[in-house]
């Protein structure tokens, strides 16, 4: 084989290797698009699937040219730089989507802080819950992480109490225990929250997480769901929400709050999740405290 043909074959094979990497990265990219910001549009899912099939088709083309054809140097260079171009496009798309998600989350945080400001004793609560969920996710087993998108969990945490908008001020600001009638009004806030988010189709993915975040393992929650019938993210929200209530609302110390969470394992909260939460170093849990924005 002539030297020029060997060089051509090498750069085509390098291009094919890059295309294999492109296919893998594109599949990861598709997986990361399954969240409340990127998902929910059937048309986009179809286009992304077509994109994957085209990448695989081009990869097969690279292999065919390298094995069965007698390519010239120009062909090899075009194929090689074509694979690099695809890599750059996938990288740019990934960064743009990541930036879009980050900006959307930041905007949501500001808007939710306004909702939280209605209850002066719980200012920063939703952001606190979001920070706790982010931290808890970090310590989840890998196989559970693979099932849930972090950005979706963060949005569910930020918006879990958006239905509070429908709760009268006198109930929110009341000192002491709520009456039975007031408690029934308070119990409507998860349903109201889901209803408010319904126009955003992609939020259907997290609606049950928000709806059932006050459920208890023993069935004594708002809607009497038990054990495995409660969505796993709702179980995470239940722990983060209650811990935030103890710290911000009841002014408990870290030790007191953690002891109460521990006592609720197996009855109020999922026991495995409680053990994970308790294993997180205190300084990391303390770092979840939000910066309160005054209005």
Higher model confidence: residue 42 or residue 215?
A: 215
- Look at the alpha carbons of 134, 140, 144, 145 in this order and tell me if their dihedral is positive or negative: positive
pLDDT tens sequence across 170-208: 887 777 778 888 888 889 999 999 999 988 887 888 999
The CB-side HSE value for 36 (13 A sphere, CA atoms) comes to 27
Q: What is the pTM of this model?
A: 0.82
pLDDT tens sequence across 217-233: 999 999 999 999 999 99
Portion of the chain with pLDDT greater than 70, in percent: 94
- Average predicted confidence (pLDDT) for the chain: 88
Q: Which residues contact 255 (CB under 8 A, 6 or more apart)?
A: none
Q: What integer is the mean pLDDT of 91-104?
A: 88
Phi, psi of 88 (to 5 degrees): -65, -40
Phi-psi region of 86 (alpha: psi -120 to 50; beta: other; left: phi over 0): alpha
User: What is the pLDDT confidence band of residue 167, given thresholds at 50, 70 and 90?
Assistant: confident
User: What is the pLDDT confidence band of residue 292, given thresholds at 50, 70 and 90?
Assistant: low
Q: Map tokens 């090498």 to a residue.
A: 10
Give the chain's length: 295
Q: What integer is the mean pLDDT of 113-119?
A: 74
Would you state the pLDDT for residue 1?
47
Q: What integer is the mean pLDDT of 143-151?
A: 91
Would you state the pLDDT for residue 43?
64
Would you state the pLDDT for residue 45?
77
Portion of the chain with pLDDT greater than 90, in percent: 55
Would you state the pLDDT for residue 140?
97
Decide if 195 contacts 159 (C-beta within 8 A).
no
Q: What integer is the mean pLDDT of 142-171?
A: 90
Q: Map tokens 């239905």 to a residue.
A: 163
Nearest to 157 by CA among 134, 123, 141, 189: 134
Report how far apart the first and last C-alpha atoms of the chain are (Å, whole number). 76
Phi, psi of 65 (to 5 degrees): -60, -40
Would you state the pLDDT for residue 286?
96
Question: What is the DSSP track for 165-222?
Answer: GGS-HHHHT--SPPPHHHHHHHTTHHHHHHHHHTTSGGGHHHHHHHHTTT--TTS-SS
Spatial separation of the C-alpha atoms in residues 280 and 295, rounded to whole Å = 33
pLDDT above 50 for 95? yes
pLDDT above 90 for 3? no
158: its two tokens: 């930020």
pLDDT above 70 for 41? no
pLDDT above 70 for 122? yes
Would you state the pLDDT for residue 9?
86
SS3 of residue 269 by DSSP = strand
Q: What integer is the mean pLDDT of 24-44?
A: 77
pLDDT tens sequence across 69-80: 777 888 888 999
Spatial separation of the C-alpha atoms in residues 233 and 243, rounded to whole Å = 15
Would you state the pLDDT for residue 293?
56
199: its two tokens: 């126009």
């Amino acid at each position: 084989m002539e030297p020029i043909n060997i060089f051509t074959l090498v750069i085509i094979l390098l291009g094919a290797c890059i295309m294999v990497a492109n296919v893998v990265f594109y599949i990861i990219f598709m997986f990361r698009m399954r969240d409340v910001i990127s998902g929910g549009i059937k048309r986009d899912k179809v286009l992304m699937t077509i994109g994957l099939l085209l990448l695989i088709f081009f990869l097969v083309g690279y292999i065919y040219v390298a094995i069965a054809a007698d390519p010239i140097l120009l062909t090899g260079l075009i194929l090689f730089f074509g694979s690099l171009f695809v890599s750059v496009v996938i990288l740019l798309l990934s960064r743009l989507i990541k930036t879009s998600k980050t900006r959307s989350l930041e905007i949501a945080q500001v808007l939710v802080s306004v909702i939280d400001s209605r209850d002066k004793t719980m200012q920063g609560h939703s952001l606190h819950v979001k920070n706790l969920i982010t931290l808890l996710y970090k310590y989840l087993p890998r196989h559970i992480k693979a099932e849930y998108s972090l950005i979706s969990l963060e949005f569910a945490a930020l918006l879990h109490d958006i239905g509070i908008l429908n709760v009268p001020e006198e109930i929110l600001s009341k000192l002491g225990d709520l009456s039975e009638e007031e408690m029934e009004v308070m119990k409507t806030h998860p349903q109201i929250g889901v209803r408010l988010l319904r126009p955003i189709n992609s939020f259907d993915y997290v609606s049950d997480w928000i709806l059932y975040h006050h459920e208890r393992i023993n069935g004594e929650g708002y809607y009497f769901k038990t054990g495995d019938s409660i969505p796993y993210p709702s179980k995470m929200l239940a722990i983060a929400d209650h811990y935030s209530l103890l710290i911000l609302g009841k002014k408990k110390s870290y030790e007191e709050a953690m002891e109460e969470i521990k006592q609720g394992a197996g009855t109020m909260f999922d026991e495995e999740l409680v053990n994970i939460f308790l294993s997180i170093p205190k300084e990391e849990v303390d770092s979840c405290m939000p910066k309160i924005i005054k209005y």
